[in-house]
């Protein structure tokens, strides 16, 4: 997610915050590709999200920090190199470096060819958990950015209507502001239980939030 700006002062301020961010340092120390891993870690620990044997699909997975976290969480002894006790599938339109034990599909999951690949990996199963860290490249125009975010989250919800277990869970990134209430209503229409959550790993200045939807409603 990128915000176009001509201000060198803003860029310098962001870089300074990034370099001094404790989660950035922790990610580097523990081998995660991005600090975002700790957001999913908090969500997992708060809502008891992930369990051995699950099928987990990571939408918008690149660069792979969430997939890395799930891989370690589902491995024996929590080691990235140990035997995996789950099925992990990641999708993104952007490339992603390989992660042992994670099947990656590059492409748009709205396309038939990509869905055929996904179905082949699922082997007739449905996902227990779908996680989505998808977000649009921000233009700075609030109404346009909100519309893009609503569209992306809507795609994740629709994906779950077809590929999530009835008792499954969706975790999706959203932003407070224009479109937020619309997304909450979308979740309430599709899930029996809806919980908003802002991890401590999310920056204080960020409007980023997450919606957790549990148990699909019948249509």
Q: What is the CA radius of gyration of the chain?
A: 17
**In percent, how much of the chain has pLDDT > 70?**
88
Q: Which of 9, 173, 188, 200 is catalytic?
A: 173
Distance, CA of 112 to chain centre? 22
Q: What is residue 118's predicted lDDT score, i.e. its pLDDT?
A: 96
Asked about 119 being catalytic, the answer comes back as no
What's the rounded Cα separation, in Å, for the pair 98 and 175?
A: 29
- Spatial neighbors of 5 by CB under 8 A, at least 6 apart, are 11, 140
Q: Residue 97: pLDDT above 80?
A: yes
pTM for the predicted model, two decimal places: 0.89
| Average predicted confidence (pLDDT) for the chain | 89
pLDDT in tens, 155-185: 999 999 999 999 999 999 999 888 999 999 9
Q: What is residue 1's predicted lDDT score, i.e. its pLDDT?
A: 39
Q: Which residues of 92-110 are buried (b: 16+ CB within 10 A; e: fewer)?
A: beeebeebebbbbbeeebe
Q: List the strands of the sheet with 87-92, edge to edge.
A: 102-106, 87-92, 55-59, 127-132, 164-175, 208-216, 191-197
Q: How confident is the model at residue 219 (pLDDT cuts 50, 70, 90)?
A: confident
Token couple for 114: 């990509």
Strand partners for 172: 132, 211
pLDDT in tens, 25-67: 999 999 999 999 999 999 999 999 999 899 999 999 999 999 9
pLDDT in tens, 120-157: 999 999 999 999 999 888 777 878 888 999 999 999 99
All domains in the chain, ordered by first residue: 8-216 (3.40.50.150)
Q: Residue 14: pLDDT above 70?
A: no
Token couple for 98: 């390989």
Q: What is residue 78's predicted lDDT score, i.e. its pLDDT?
A: 57
Q: What is residue 15's predicted lDDT score, i.e. its pLDDT?
A: 52
Q: What is residue 79's predicted lDDT score, i.e. its pLDDT?
A: 58
Give the Cα-Cα-Cα angle 139, 28, 67 (nearest 5 degrees): 65
Q: What is residue 145's predicted lDDT score, i.e. its pLDDT?
A: 84
Query: In terms of DSSP bridges, do strands 87-92 and 127-132 run parallel, antiparallel, or are they unpaired?
Result: unpaired
Q: What is residue 16's predicted lDDT score, i.e. its pLDDT?
A: 53
């Amino acid at each position: 997610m990128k915000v176009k700006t001509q201000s060198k002062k803003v860029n310098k301020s962001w870089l300074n915050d990034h370099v001094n961010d404790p989660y950035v340092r922790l990610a580097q120390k523990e081998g995660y590709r991005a600090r975002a891993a700790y957001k999913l870690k908090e969500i997992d620990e708060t809502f008891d999200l992930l369990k051995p044997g699950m099928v987990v699909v990571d939408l918008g997975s690149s660069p792979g920090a969430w997939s890395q976290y799930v891989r370690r969480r589902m491995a024996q002894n929590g080691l990235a190199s140990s035997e995996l006790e789950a099925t992990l599938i990641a999708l993104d339109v952007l490339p992603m470096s390989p992660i042992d034990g994670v099947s990656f599909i590059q492409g748009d999951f709205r396309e038939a060819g990509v869905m055929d690949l996904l179905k082949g990996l699922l082997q007739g199963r449905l996902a227990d958990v779908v996680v989505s860290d998808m977000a649009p490249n921000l233009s700075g125009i609030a109404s346009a950015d909100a519309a893009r975010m609503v569209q992306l989250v809507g795609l994740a919800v629709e994906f779950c209507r077809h590929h999530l277990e009835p008792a499954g869970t969706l975790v999706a990134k959203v932003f407070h502001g224009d479109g937020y209430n619309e997304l909450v209503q979308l979740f309430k229409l599709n899930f029996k239980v809806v919980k908003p959550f802002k991890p401590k790993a999310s920056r204080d200045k960020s409007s980023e939030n997450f919606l957790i939807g549990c148990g699909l409603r019948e249509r």
